[in-house]
Amino acid sequence: QVQLVESGGGLVQAGGSLRLSCAPSGRTFSSYSMGWFRQAPGKEREFVAAINWSGVTIYYADSVKGRFTISRDNAKDTVYLQMNSLQPEDAGVYYCAADYGRARIRSDEYAYWGQGTQVTVSS
Q: Please check the confidence at residue 91 and state whether its pLDDT lies above 80.
A: yes
Q: Please check the confidence at residue 83 and state whether its pLDDT lies above 90.
A: yes
**H or E stretch covering 69:** strand 68-73
What is the pLDDT, as a whole number, of residue 3?
86
What is the pLDDT, as a whole number, of residue 84?
98
CA distance 53 to 94: 20
**H or E stretch covering 24:** strand 18-24
CA distance 84 to 74: 23
At 2, the pLDDT band (50, 70, 90 cuts) reads: low
Contact between residue 34 and residue 57 where contact means Cβ atoms under 8 Å apart: no
What is the pLDDT, as a whole number, of residue 30?
84
> At 94, which amino acid appears?
Y
